Structure 1
Amino acid sequence: MIRRTRRITPAGRTVVITGASSGLGKAAALHLERIGFQVFAGIRAPADGARLLAESSAGRLHPLRLDVTEPDQIRQAADEVAERLDGEGLWGLVNNAGIAQPGPLECLSAELLQRQLTTNVIGQFQTIQAYLPLLRVARGRIVNVTSGLGRVALPYLGAYAAAQFAKEALSDSLRRELRPFGVTVSVVQPGAIRTPIWDKLAQAGADVVDCAPEPTATVYREPFRAFLRHNARQVRRSRTTPQQYARTVARALTTARPRTRYPVGPDVRIASLAARLLPDSLVDRHLAAIVRPRDG
C-alpha cells in the first residue's frame, strides 16, 4: 500500500522570501505564487520588482524592498508585512538571499569576509528575528537556504563555506528553540545550478587574487584560475534546475511533517554522504588536485 504524505494547502497562507530579484529566489517566488501562496518577494531595487510582476501569473506576488544587509530595511519590511497581514500570522519565511565570495583565504581581505558573513549569516539572523513574532502566531515555518558547502568546505571557497556552516548551525539551534512554539525550521541545500551567481563568482574570485600582494598572488593565481575553470564546467554540466529548487522549497512549506534538510541535486547528496562516512584525510586526498601547483 502506498502511503501518501498529507500536504498543507497554500491557499490563504503568506510567505516572505528574501533574495527574489533573480536566480533561485526568483524561481521560488514565482512558483510559490503559482501554487497558491501570497508571496512577499524581497527585492533590492524597484526595477527588480517590476520584472517580477511582469512574470507574475496570479496577482498574489508583492515585491518587498528588502536588502538583508540593511537593518533598517529589514525592520521596515517586517512592519509592512505585519500591517498587510492585519493580525494574521506569517506561514513561511524563506531565507534565500546570499552571495558567494571565492578566493584563497590568504588573499581574502577581512572586509570581503565580513561582507560574506554579513549577507549570508548576520542579515539572515536579523531577518528571522524580525519575523518570528508573526511566525509564532501562525505556527509557521522557516526555510533556510544553504548549499552542499554547508557540509564540506572546498578549497578557495572557505569564506562561503564558513557562512553556510554557520547558517546550518543556526538552523539546528533555532529548530530546537522554536519547537515548543510550533515553528519548524528546515534547511534547503542546493548544489550546482546554473544561475547568475556563478557568472559573478569567477570575476569576484579573479579580483581577489589580483588585489593581493604580488608574491602571494603568484602562489595562488594559476591553481585558482584552474579551479574557477573546473567549477564553471561543473556548473554547465549540472542538470539540476531552478525549478527543482523551487519545488523543494514548496515541499518544505507544504509537507505536513517537514524534514530538517532537503538536498537539491546529486552533488549535494554525494557531499553529505562523504562528510558523514569518510575520514577527513580521505576527503583531503580527493580534493588535493584542486590546490596542487601547476608546472610552468
Structure 2
Amino acid sequence: MSALFSSVSTTDWASASNILNQQSPWGLIERCLLVTGISFITSYFFGWMLTIGSFGLFLLLLAIGVPLITFISYLTVTPEGKAIFVTGCDTGFGNALAKHLHSLGYVVFAGCFTKDSRGKGAVELEKEGEKTQRLFTVQLDVSSQESVTKAAKEVEQRLPKNCKGVWGIVNNAGWSTFGEVEWVPMDVYEKVASINLFGTMRVTKAFLPLIRVAKGRVVNVASILGRMGAPMRSPYCASKWGVEGFSECLRFEMRRWGVNVSVIEPGNYIAGTALYTKASVDAQAKNMWENMPEVVKDDYGKAYFDAKIDQMHGYTATGSSTIAPVIEAMTDALTRTFPSCRYQPMQLPEKIKVYVATHLPELVFDYIYT
C-alpha cells in the first residue's frame, strides 16, 4: 500500500487554480448540444404526429431549452455549513481538489495515507488549514476497514456546529498497475480491487449516514478504462468497471434520500500526475517477471515481455499535462445545484473512443483501435 502515492508527483496547483478560475465552457456546450438533439427529435416526432411544421417547433424548443439549461448550469449551492471529505489527498487530483474546495469556502477533510508519517502533501494541507481552520487532514488507508471507520468517526466528531452532516465525499484514492492477464499475480489483482473498488465501497458505506442527513453528494472517480477494456490494463479496468456498476446502483438507491451520485471518468492524465514513471514501471515489471510461472515465461518469451515494458515506458509521458479539467468536473459535481450523473474530463479523441466502445458493435471498435 505504501506504493499507492509514491509514484504521483505534486500538482502545480497555482497553474490549475488559474485555469479553474476561468470556467471551461465545454460542460455547458455539451448540455446545449444535448438539448439541441432532444429538441430535434421531439419536434420531428410531434411534427409528424400532429402534422405541423417540425422546423418551427424545433426553433421554439431550442429557444426555450438553451437559455433554461444555461441558467440551470450556473446555479450553485452555498459553501456555508457544508463539509466535504476527499480521499487520496497526499498528491495529484485529491491534493489539488482539497485546496480548491478550501479556497471556495467549504470545510474540507482531506484523507491522507501519509498523514501520520508526515508526508509532504499532508503537511502542505495542514499548513493551509491553519490559516482558516476549515481544512483538516485525516489519516486514511482505504484498503483497511478499521482505518476507514476511524476516519469517519473522526470527521463526525470534528464537524463544525453549523454543518449538518457531511455534504459530500469524493472517492479519489486509487492505485494503478499493468500487465497481461497471465503475468499479473493474484495478490496484485486483489490489491488493486481493495483500493480502487472496495476502498470506494468502504468509504461510501461509512459516510452514507452523514451524507443522507445533509442530502448531499457522493462523487466516485472511475476512469475512461471503466468504460472499455485495454491490453495490459486488466487489473485497473476490472476495478474501475466495478466502480461504475457500484455507482449506478447507489444512484438509484439514494434518490429517495435526496442524495446525488456522480461518476468522474478521467481520460489519460499521466503526464499531469506522473502516475507512472520509468522507475515505477521497471519495479513493477521486475516483480511480475520474478513471480511469473515458468510455463508462462517460456510461452511468451523475454523478448515479447521486454517489448511490452518498453511500450509502458513510452506511455509514461502521454496524456494531458494539466489536471484542471478533472478538478473542475469534481467541483461541478459537488457545487452545482443540479449536478450531472457522469462527467468525462477527457480529450475529444478519447470521448469518441468511449462512444465507439459503448454504442457501436465490438468488431468496429476492435478494427479501429486494436
> Normalized against structure 2, the TM-score is what?
0.72
Greater displacement, 199-208 / 174-183 = 199-208
Q: Distance in 1 between matches of 2:234 and 2:151?
A: 31
Specify the alignment match of 1:190 in structure 2: 266
Q: Distance in 1 between matches of 2:157 and 2:224?
A: 37
Counterparts of residues 96-115 of structure 1 (less than 5 Å) = 96-115=172-191
Q: Distance in 2 between matches of 1:242 and 1:201?
A: 21
8 Å CA contact 1:190, 1:264 repeated in 2: yes
Q: SS where residue 265 of structure 2 aligns? A: strand
Asked if residue 231 in structure 1 is aligned to residue 315 in structure 2, the reply is: yes
Greater displacement, 58-67 / 192-201 = 192-201
Q: Distance in 1 between matches of 2:280 and 2:237?
A: 14
> Normalized against structure 1, the TM-score is what?
0.89
Greater displacement, 261-270 / 125-134 = 261-270
Task: Give % identity.
Answer: 32
Asked if residue 270 in structure 1 is aligned to residue 348 in structure 2, the reply is: no
Asked if residue 64 in structure 1 is aligned to residue 147 in structure 2, the reply is: no
Q: Distance in 2 between matches of 1:143 and 1:124?
A: 10
Structure possessing the higher relative contact order (Cα contacts under 8 Å, 6 or more residues apart): 1
Deviation of the 1:90 alpha carbon = 0.5
Q: SS where residue 344 of structure 2 aligns? A: strand
Q: CA deviation digits over 1:54-95, x for unaligned, max 9? A: 455744210011110111110011001111226821100000
Deviation of the 1:279 alpha carbon = 1.8
AA paired with 2:343?
Answer: Y
Asked if residue 51 in structure 1 is aligned to residue 120 in structure 2, the reply is: no
Asked if residue 218 in structure 1 is aligned to residue 323 in structure 2, the reply is: no
Greater displacement, 149-158 / 42-51 = 42-51
AA paired with 2:352?
Answer: I
Deviation of the 1:114 alpha carbon = 0.4
Q: SS where residue 187 of structure 1 aligns? A: strand
Q: SS where residue 197 of structure 1 aligns? A: coil
Q: SS where residue 118 of structure 1 aligns? A: helix
8 Å CA contact 2:109, 2:135 repeated in 1: yes
8 Å CA contact 1:189, 1:263 repeated in 2: yes
Structure 2 stretches of 5 or more lacking a match?
Answer: 1-65
8 Å CA contact 2:274, 2:316 repeated in 1: no
Deviation of the 1:204 alpha carbon = 5.0
Q: Distance in 2 between matches of 1:283 and 1:215?
A: 31
Q: SS where residue 64 of structure 1 aligns? A: strand
AA paired with 1:243?
Answer: A
Determine which structure has more spread, i.e. the larger CA radius of gyration.
Answer: 2
8 Å CA contact 1:148, 1:271 repeated in 2: no
Deviation of the 1:285 alpha carbon = 2.9
Specify the alignment match of 2:212 in structure 1: 136
Q: Distance in 2 between matches of 1:58 and 1:264?
A: 31
